[in-house]
Amino acid sequence: MANQQLSLVNGANGHLGNNLVRLLISKGILVRAAVRNIGNKEPFAGLDCEVVQSDITDKQSLIKALQGVETFYAVGAAFKLWAKDPQKEIYDVNIQGTRNMIEAAAEAGVKRIVYVSSIAALNYTAIPAKENYGYNPDRRDTYYNSKNDGEKLAFELAKKYNIELVAVLPSAMIGSEAFAPLNVSYNILKLILQKEIPVETNIALNWVDVKDVAEGCYLAATKGISGERYILANEKCTSIKDTTKIAQQLFPGLKIKLPVAVPKPVLFVIAWLMELGSKISGKAPLLSTKDIAMFSGLQQDFDLSKSRNELGYNPKNPTMAVEEALGYLIEHQLVPLKNPDK
């Protein structure tokens, strides 16, 4: 074994967490995987790792899980853009979770933390966005606020407790091993394949292969400078319309149509009606008025020179990432298709 030091990954049954566990095992690293629900064994079938129960809202469970751990990959978080009570279900969980994770790591004697933040915590007032432009000044989204304030808190507490901490900021992760229910980003590809994005929103996403983000997390642990933040994304974002074109070319038999352009006021009305439906159903709307206000026309383009130069991070291009992810969804039957090509 190349490295017998123990690493803990929490949120280990999530999309990034599970792919990170697999990567670390492949590098000969001893891995302890922490999950909230120990009963869900499927993501760990055939994997040589210890699986333990732990929850970011329960500090004692974190302290227990972190015993004997050298490197802590703090992946666990509430990753959702909509909730019935956003303050309680998203913001409070992520802020208290961050506090619990860093304090538990200090108590358990952990040497180094890779803290998974998000491109939500970047300042987009100048494009391409860079790590040193500071934090996102747009305070309209609860999830975004939780990632901005959470990352700042993580650095403050790491300094207070004298723990090495490196932050990584992934973009929209897709591809590779995934288990239902799919995460927010992957679900957009699913909706495209299911022909459920009928209107052009002018929203673009920065697609990145989750395996590249997992590799970036490992590089941050081994090469990252404590106190620094690193973007794990691609240089250029891709519109949902262009993503749909990739799906059309890949699966012509599905007869996927391009989303129809409508005036922005109409988009707001559609989103408002969807939000109204959500209040009744309790399920997240496909589109919200805030999505249109914040993200329609926003270019999520990044300067990756810091991650490339300091970590050796080198992601596959977004088109290839999308093609592989779409293929994975079809191959693993994670998408119930309408009118598939026989």
CB 10 within 8 A of CB 56: yes
CB 318 within 8 A of CB 302: no
Domains delineated in the chain = 3-181+207-235+299-317 (3.40.50.720)
Query: What per-residue confidence (pLDDT) applies to 181?
Result: 82
Residue 1 has pLDDT above 70, yes or no: no
pLDDT class for 83, splitting at 50, 70, 90? Answer: confident
What is the model's pTM?
0.94
The amino acid present at 233, given as its one-letter code, is A
Q: Give the whole-angstrom CA distance, residue 34 versus residue 139.
A: 31
Residues 23-67 pLDDT 10s: 999 999 999 999 999 988 899 999 999 999 999 999 999 999 999
Mean pLDDT of 171-198: 90
Residue 109 has pLDDT above 90, yes or no: yes
Query: What per-residue confidence (pLDDT) applies to 338?
Result: 58
Residue appearing with tokens 């690293």: 29
Between residues 55 and 342, which one has the greater pLDDT? 55
Q: Give the whole-angstrom CA distance, residue 71 versus residue 163.
A: 11
Residue 340 has pLDDT above 90, yes or no: no
CB 208 within 8 A of CB 174: yes
pLDDT class for 230, splitting at 50, 70, 90? Answer: very high
Query: What per-residue confidence (pLDDT) applies to 330?
Result: 93
